[in-house]
Structure 1
């Protein structure tokens, strides 16, 4: 079983440091390996055993890391052919985004900064352009997110959260903005899996009440207020990501040394993904 580690305000003692599953450490190392070597979509990686030797991990833990990276779309595992860097959409921008590191402070902050710019604009446009049916869809998805939050149903919240942001994007009446919102959230979901093990990064109720406030601003046609509230909503998410990544940085010493088993050498099941 992967060793657990925790960090607290009081100190760095073993009992209070955040849990770092072995497959998470190795998945993180594998993404770094791909980026450092400039591997491109479609490039073939070594076998599981070869990767285990490169990363200083056991084969079982490496297999779980490969599984979770395949599940979030970063690797492609082809039976009988091998392990490959996942293909993008074929464009230069898509290929560059495949270098996104879901546990890197720099990359996550750039992503959230871009998300703030894009989603603030979709909210402003939605407040100006949304039809009555679109306003109702936005409000209903916000209410469903609050209901899910109050009963601590993370999976239901994730579905409602995705529906809310997509509804705001649709109400902007700009297919490129809507597509950008969806693409950015797909990248953010990779961080959810590796940093939060599929859980939402912060208080579900706080996020849901922010949804409701944005929905009311859109309904009232308050474009600047809707944009400002969306920026605040994403800033809340950003603070949670920053805290989690800072916790991770305290545990860099827990990385397996070359030649040493990662996470105690025993495989763990990868997490289930959910949007935040």
Structure 2
């Protein structure tokens, strides 16, 4: 194991064991390095790596702290990785989303607030009947993100937030069936919203499954 990797594992162990808790400030560099049996250089590299992952927060002139370890923060790197995926991997990301999102939509049916429902409705209303691809992509991502966050499961919401990115979604509506795809997407969004308003978890799950299956099918048919 590389020296930096070993240093990362030692800091990770302190956090997992509870020796360092969310919001705690790390001991001074020299003290921590000596306590962990590390060189200052390897400790600095480990801290730098963990800060990039959202686990540590380096505050210039103040010190280094353990973050709140919020799932949305820790899983933010997933969306970063998705942005670098190979084109042939896009259907695989969508397949994962098709497994997770219907469950999140069913959960949201029981937990979404009237205010959140009104916000989703206003989002669709603002789009209009003939949106551009760019407008529809932005609305689609925001619509699904709002539902995922309304599920009440922060881990599930964070996972779905990065699957897939705007470029992959845009491909669905730029293909040969783009015009029909736009109209169908708008209708499916309305059906999902209606099921959520009815607090019908199974209908919400079913419409989310239908919607994502059709998105995946159109994507596979797009050159």
Does the alignment reach a TM-score above 0.5?
yes
Aligned to 1:183: 162
Aligned to 2:100: 118
Judging changes above 3 Å, is the alpha-carbon distance between structure 1 residues 204 and 89 closer, same or farther for their aligned structure 2 residues?
Answer: farther
Q: Is 1:240 matched with 2:213?
A: no
Aligned to 1:159: 138
Which runs of structure 2 are paired with 1:31-42 in the superposition (5 Å)?
Answer: none
Q: Is 1:100 matched with 2:85?
A: yes
Aligned to 1:174: 153
Judging changes above 3 Å, is the alpha-carbon distance between structure 1 residues 96 and 183 closer, same or farther for their aligned structure 2 residues?
Answer: closer
Aligned to 2:198: 220
Q: TM-score, normalised by structure 1?
A: 0.47
Deviation of residue 192 (structure 1)? 4.7
CA distance in 2, matches of 1:121, 1:167: 14
Deviation of residue 110 (structure 1)? 1.8
Which runs of structure 2 are paired with 1:249-260 in the superposition (5 Å)?
Answer: none
Number of equivalenced pairs: 148
Deviation of residue 98 (structure 1)? 7.1
RMSD over aligned Cα, in angstroms? 2.9
CA distance in 1, matches of 2:143, 2:198: 17
CA distance in 2, matches of 1:239, 1:216: 24
Provide structure 2 residue ranges, at least 5 long, that are not aligned to the other structure. Answer: 1-51, 55-73
Aligned to 1:252: none
| Larger RCO (CA within 8 A; separation ≥ 6) | 1
Which runs of structure 2 are paired with 1:62-101 in the superposition (5 Å)?
Answer: 89=53, 94=78, 100-101=85-86
Deviation of residue 96 (structure 1)? 7.3
CA distance in 1, matches of 2:153, 2:190: 22
Q: Is 1:127 matched with 2:104?
A: no
Q: Is 1:230 matched with 2:216?
A: no
Q: SS of the counterpart of 1:184?
A: coil
Provide structure 1 residue ranges, at least 5 long, that are not aligned to the other structure. Answer: 1-87, 248-276
CA distance in 2, matches of 1:221, 1:98: 34
Structure number with greater Rg is 2
Q: TM-score, normalised by structure 2?
A: 0.57
